[in-house]
């Protein structure tokens, strides 16, 4: 099983002819992602690595039929329009790699996402992958290995290191979701954790949070349900030594008052039953120890 995407997921790439879009489209195709079309205005009629290119999302859908997901590699000024185009065309899963989209534009985007029942991952995210089946976004191919651990993260680079550690330990992954680092993102921890809760193949979850915001605290109730279902939750909080009031890295990583402080996040996660580790290198061994304690096989 998997959450959100699998090998049958039909994907289009918006911005397929740009530098980032073309590079990562090739990597996705190499991984086996079912890319059925690309979209770049004024480039319709061309192809890229055998993928047909269309001027608009609607033209692509009319030509290739069903589209389950889109991944967006367009500049920040054009990204809101690209998201809305996908939403209005009826695509239910929208993955936005673009970073630096103005927050006031994202407010409008969120209104339409709710109105049309669409789900967004990102923006400013590495995307999503179900190991051994499909990859939509920029997660490196060589760190993915089918296994039993679900990963949801606010930090792309650190999650890649964790994926490699899980692969090398023989645990592998089920689905990997990079939530994105901007303040106004789509899917959040509580949503993805709820999906892992219902996925039989996912036997443990790694949750990579960061300072700022309240997403980790809001997810504590779902963490508790996972633990009660004998699905260990291992958490790592990025930026624990950041000074209060100072913006660190991601746009959302700022501490204001009690909310967003790493100690408060850690307290809430531990109260819910999560194991909060100090280093990412200890994550695989911690999972294996929990499996042994619960008499679960990897």
Catalytic residue among 24, 104, 191, 250: 250
d(CA 247, CA 80): 24
Q: Residue 273: in which H helix or E strand, if any?
A: none
Cβ-Cβ contacts under 8 Å for 106 (sequence gap 6 or more): 80, 123, 182, 184
Name the strand (E) or helix (H) holding 129: strand 127-130
Task: Name the nearest CA neighbour of 95 among 72, 129, 67.
Answer: 72
| CA–CA separation, 294 and 84 (whole Å) | 46
User: Using an 8 Å Cβ cutoff, are 217 and 157 in contact?
Assistant: no
Helix locations, the chain, DSSP H: 19-31, 57-64, 79-88, 103-116, 156-168, 189-198, 215-218, 220-228, 262-272, 283-293
Token pair, residue 268, equals 């809430």
Reply yes or no on whether 250 is catalytic. yes
Give the active site residues: 250
């Amino acid at each position: 099983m998997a959450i959100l995407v699998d090998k049958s997921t039909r994907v289009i790439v918006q911005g397929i002819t740009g530098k980032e879009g073309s590079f990562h489209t090739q990597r996705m195709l190499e991984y086996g992602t079912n890319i059925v079309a690309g979209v770049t205005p004024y480039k319709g009629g061309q192809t890229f690595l055998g993928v047909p290119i269309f001027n608009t999302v609607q033209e692509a859908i009319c030509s290739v039929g069903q589209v389950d997901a889109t991944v967006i590699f367009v500049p920040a000024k054009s990204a809101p329009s690209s998201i809305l185009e996908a939403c209005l065309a009826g695509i239910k899963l929208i993955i936005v790699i673009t970073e630096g989209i103005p927050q006031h534009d994202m407010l409008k985007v969120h209104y339409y996402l709710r109105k049309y029942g669409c789900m967004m991952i990102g923006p400013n995210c590495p995307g999503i992958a179900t190991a051994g089946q499909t990859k939509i976004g920029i997660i490196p191919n060589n760190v993915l290995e089918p296994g039993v651990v679900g990963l949801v993260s606010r930090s792309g680079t650190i999650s890649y290191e964790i994926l490699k550690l899980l692969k090398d330990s023989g645990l592998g992954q089920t689905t990997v979701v990079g939530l994105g680092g901007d303040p106004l993102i789509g899917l959040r921890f509580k949503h993805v954790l709820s999906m892992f809760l219902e996925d039989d193949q996912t036997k443990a979850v790694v949750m990579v949070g960061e300072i700022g915001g309240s997403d980790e605290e809001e997810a504590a109730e779902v963490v508790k349900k996972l633990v009660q279902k004998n699905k260990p939750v291992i958490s790592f909080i990025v930026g624990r030594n950041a000074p209060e009031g100072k913006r660190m890295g991601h746009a959302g990583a700022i501490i204001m008052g009690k909310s967003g402080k790493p100690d408060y996040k850690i307290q809430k996660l531990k109260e819910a039953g999560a194991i909060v580790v100090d280093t990412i290198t200890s994550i695989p061994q911690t999972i294996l120890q929990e499996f042994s304690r619960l008499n679960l096989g990897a």
